[in-house]
Structures are given as structure tokens and as C-alpha cells.
Structure 1
Amino acid sequence: MVKQIAIIGGGIVGATAAFYLSHLPGSEQTQVTLFDDGTGQATKAASGIISPWLSKRRNKRWYALAKAGAELYPKLVTEAQLGPDAYQQTGTIVTRKSAKDLEKLYQEALTKADHTPAMGHVTLLSSEAVQQRLPLLSNPPAGVFVSGGAKIDGANFVWNLLERAQQTNLKIISQTVSLTADGDIITEDGLQQFDQTIIATGAWMKKTLTPMGITMKIRPQKGQLIDLKLSQQLAPQSMPVLMPEGSSDIIPFNNGKLVIGATHENEGGFDLKATQVAAQQLLNNAKAFMAHLNSHQITGVRVGTRAYTDDFAPFFGRLPNRSNILVGGGLGSSGLTTGPIIGYLLAHSIFGQSTTDWQQYTKPVSQYIE
């Protein structure tokens, strides 16, 4: 008998879950239906960095989850046959404002690299060495280079994962759906029932689960980033990402595309309008390192809505007393790093293949319900 699985939300969690539900043993007896209207999705608006190892965050569960997420990427990229338009391991350069703090960061990186193979090799770079790797910089800072770091284009990444899954057992329905009190799904074609459901609607999860009498402790946060076009002489291939302390990330892609971002606007809520103020602030942040940039090079502003929890930590698992409904959310600004591992673990759980102790990664889902 074919098992019917629903996924509500086609962002980084939903797309990765859909891919593995089409890829893992058991997929031949599974039909997956993904519902998503695409509105405000953080993943599709995002370009990001996979390099969690030197984060200032000290939440141990978050770090364990982010570390596992970074380790999953090479495996996922190989299995899904993803190209450099979606994911590229070019390394990351992390900076600190003082030489003392930079040396401390370097020693921390060396210690972690000894037992974290995914980090690759670690190198302390002078400002001159940074400019050699990032010739587009006019005012390069010194930094710590981590070769295992990578960059990702969220929209291409999700699109490719879903395309692979559609070749096997995935059906995508582009519409807004809602739940009944029992967790069945109300679509434009009427009520549909599924054996198991994954809910990954990001900042909209509170609204999604309200009909079931469940209130998730999630709040929205607006994020904006800008795309710029560089001249060809400043756009060599495969440059690393720059993560300057206290400023916006600088993410160079091939063919002269440069991404700066992103903002963290707690009062922005679900507003999806791009603002000139945010674009100018991001440009100014980048000009501190690239004085030659100007507003005429901005080719677009992307806007998405992140989901945050009170403790700034992601969560995932089965709903209390609703064993057929799984959730994953609250990713915040680290969604491109933590989202895939959450989708991967949820898919394994659907097939009864999960042997991982989820408590090392997340508090119980009940902790995020009012």
C-alpha cells in the first residue's frame, strides 16, 4: 500500500525533506505532495554562507545542529547532483576588529579543525593575503580562512532539490492550504487526508497550526539583501566569502554577481516591500571594504521573512499527541545551514529510519508551544 505524505512549505526544510523522501529506501512505496504558495519564503530570497564553526553563538544544541548541517552538505550535493549555481565550496574568511581577537579566533579555529574534518584547513591571512583571494576589495581586512566553508543560492538550491524529487514521487501544488482541527488539509479541491504530514511554513507556522488549537512561539523577522553587478576585471571565478565582524556578509558569485546582506528587521514582520534605507545601508557596509561600489551597480533587492523563536534556536520533531504530524522551524538567520539537516532527519523519521538522538540538536517541540 502506498503511503501518502504531505509537506506544507517548500523552503529549505520542506525541499530537503521532499528530496530525501524520494531518495531513501522506502520511497518506492511513497507518494509525496508538497503545498507551497511561495509568498515571502526566506529561502528563495536568500543567498548564504555555510560556515558555522566560528560563530559567536554559544548555544550548544544550535552548534551541534549547524555543525551536522554543514557536514551533510557535500553528501546532499552529491546525491542530488547539484551544480555550482546552487552550492559551491570556496571557503570563508572570518574577521575580527582587533588583532588580539583575530589571533584568539585563529587558535579556536585550529582547535576545532582538529576534530571537525568538514572545516578543511585553517589559515591566518594578512590583509594583503585576503586581497589576493578577494581582489575586488580595496580595503581588505586580515582574517581567518576556513577552506570547508561554502556559499549557496537559496532559490537555485531549492529548485534543484524539488526538480530531482519530482522525477521520482513528488507532486507540487502551488496554493495556500489550511488545516482542520484534526490536522487534515483543506485544499482548493476539498479536504485531503495523509498518513503523515510535515509542516515547514517558517514564520507562518503559528497561523498554520492555529486551527488545531496550537500556538507556536514564533515571530517573524524581515530580511533584505542586495544584488550587485561587478565589472569583469573585478570578477574572477570561485572567490571565497567574506564574513566581516559587525558588518554585512560579502558573497561573490561567478560571472560578476555580488550579494550583500542581510538585514535583521524585527519590526518588519511580514512586510515584503524592499526599502531604499536598507539597500543604502547594505551598500555602505560593503563600501567599507570596496570603495569603488556605487548604487548604479545594484541590480535588485530581495526580501524574505525569517522565523525566530524566543531562544533563537531551531526546533523540529513530532507534535505532542499528534504523532502523524511533524514540524521543523524557527531557523532564524542560520536557516540555510540548519534547514537541510532538519529536513533530512524528518524524512528519515517518516520512514522509521532515524537512530539519531534529536535531543542533542533541539529542545522538545512542546517547549515552543504556548
Structure 2
Amino acid sequence: MLTLDDIRGLPKVLLHDHLDGGLRPGTVLDLAAECGHQLPDGPDGKPIGDASTLGEWFRDAADSGSLVRYLETFAHTVAVTQTTGALTRVARECVEDLAADGVVYAEVRYAPEQHLEQGLTLHEVVAAVQEGFDAGVAAVSAAGGLIVVRQLLTAMRHQARSQEIAELAVAWRDRGVAGFDIAGAEAGNPPTRHLDAFEYLQRENAHFTIHAGEAFGLPSIWEALQWCGADRLGHGVRIVDDITVDESGEARLGRLAAYVRDTRVPLEMCPTSNVQTGAAASIAEHPLGELTKLRFRVTVNTDNRLMGGTTLSEEFFALVLAFGYDLDDLRWFTVNAMKSAFLPFDERLALINDVIKPAYRR
């Protein structure tokens, strides 16, 4: 069986990772002290003052089985990233942390509209994050490593700035931004509320993914694909609701599930996060197992490394323990992700043939 160290040494691809969900606990402490943000109280009733305890608080608060409660943890990470310096620091550290885990390609998403409280403009937010990414990539390269990182700009689905953020993504697409996304609570905020933004992106030949089928069911997935034209599905866990498995183990796919599989719609699955938010009962019961068996285009992701207390290597290792996956399975997940990246075809192919496949040879 593959060990965690084995997996850390393999090149990996990450498509669904939130910048504001991946801060180092120590960095949260530093930035909170700089800006005067009050962190949550610890067991002693006083604001938490050490990194280990703060990391535990984030994991415990996120481990509630509620997406709404899970999202509340972001109030602290967003509050401390309202300046150019803070955004550049967390972006640089994000790249360094991913590279240390063996990630060779990553698309990291965040909502620029949530970082304007100290007077930054949307363009200044994107520029600060890109400066951090560039610094992180340069540091990794100088140390003999390899990583490619792109931004995904997210609009909050309960707000009304999606057109503005879509235009921002197009303006920056040749300067480090790979695409667009919408995120936030699904219930009551269907993707069709942002149809103008998605139609604009399609006219501009731009890429976008949509959080769908995590806390809400098949209608959210159907709208994301058939009304909005999403290239990928963020999570997409509830597509399993359109699959019936009889007593003999034979699976019957409904019309939507068949469409998703037939057209190779990538599913950005995040096992640990899905268990934390109640989208899956456990890793062993995660729909990823059945969807992988049926050969949907499954990819494995971290979602929020701070809240989940996880890395992509640990996500893979949890699947190895739960489903007995081997090297061939992990290569399949990784190639799936690289094929699905919002990166030019020749660049994807080079990473698959020159970096990923050689490392996964037995």
C-alpha cells in the first residue's frame, strides 16, 4: 500500500483550493496583530494566541456538518487579508506550501470583492495576489522545484458583482488569471442569477467553473451546466442522486448523470471538506468511490487546507485507506485534473507527458 510519504513525492494537480481557506495559522496570528482583528476565544475564554490552538479552532469550527457554519470561519481569514502586503504574503506562502506537498499545477481561487475594506480596488487585489504567486513560483524554482499557479476569480453568489468580476477575470487572463467561479451558499442563490456574467464569459471564450451540487442537489448542477455552460463543477457531489444502484451492484444513470459522464464534465471533488459540511457521511461513503468506479471525470482537491487541516497528499492517502487505490488510480486522478485545467492544451500536455506520467511509472 502507498504511504503518505510515497504520495508526497508524486507530482499532483490541484483545481479547487481557496486562497482564504489555506492560510497558515501562524500567518493569521501575525496579520491579526498587525490589523487589530480580534481572533476567536480559546478554551480559557481569551483570544487565541498560539498557532497550534488556532489551527485546531479552525478545524473544529469547520467540522460541523453545516456548510453555513463552515463558511463562517472565513470571516477571520478575510478580515486579515485586506492590504496589499497581507495578500501578497498569503499568496506567496500558498505557493510554497503547495510545492512542498508535491503540487506541480494549481488553480487557486478567491473572491476579490471580499478584500476591499481597506480601500484596495479590485485590480489592486488581483495584482497583489499575482505578485505573491510570482514570488512563490520564483522561490520554488530557485530551490530546484517546479510549480505553475493560476488564479481563479470568484464572485459571491449572494451578491450582485458577478458581471464586474467576470470582466476582471477577462482583463487579467493573460496575466495569471485562468478563469472565473461563483461560490457561497447554494440554497436560495441559484447560478442562473448570474446568467449575464456567464454569457459574457462564453462570448469572450473564457473558462469558468461553478460551485454546484455540494449543499444543494441536482437542480443546481443542471442549471450550472445547461443554463450557464460551466466547464467544470465545483464539488458536484450530488450528481450521485441521479444514479441508482440495484442489489446486484449494477448502476443505472439518469439523464443528467449520463450527460455529465458522457461529456466528461470534470468534478472537483473535495473529500475532507465534503465530510465536514455534511455533503458526504464519511470518506469511505463519499460518492467519489462510486463515481470513480463508473469512470466519471473525477478530480481530487483540498478545498480549504486550513479548515480541513489537510493537504492534497493527505486527501489522496485518505482515499487509499478507504478504497484501496493504488499508483495507477492516483495517476488517473492526476491526469484527469491536468486534462481539465484552464491552461492551454500544449502546456497541459507537456506537464502530463514530461512531469506526471514519468513519475507514476512503476
TM-score (norm 2): 0.28
Task: Give the number of the structure whose residues are more often helix, by fraction.
Answer: 2
Task: Give the number of the structure whose residues are more often strand, by fraction.
Answer: 1
Larger radius of gyration, structure 1 or 2?
1
Higher relative contact order (CA 8 A, sep 6+): 1
TM-score (norm 1): 0.28
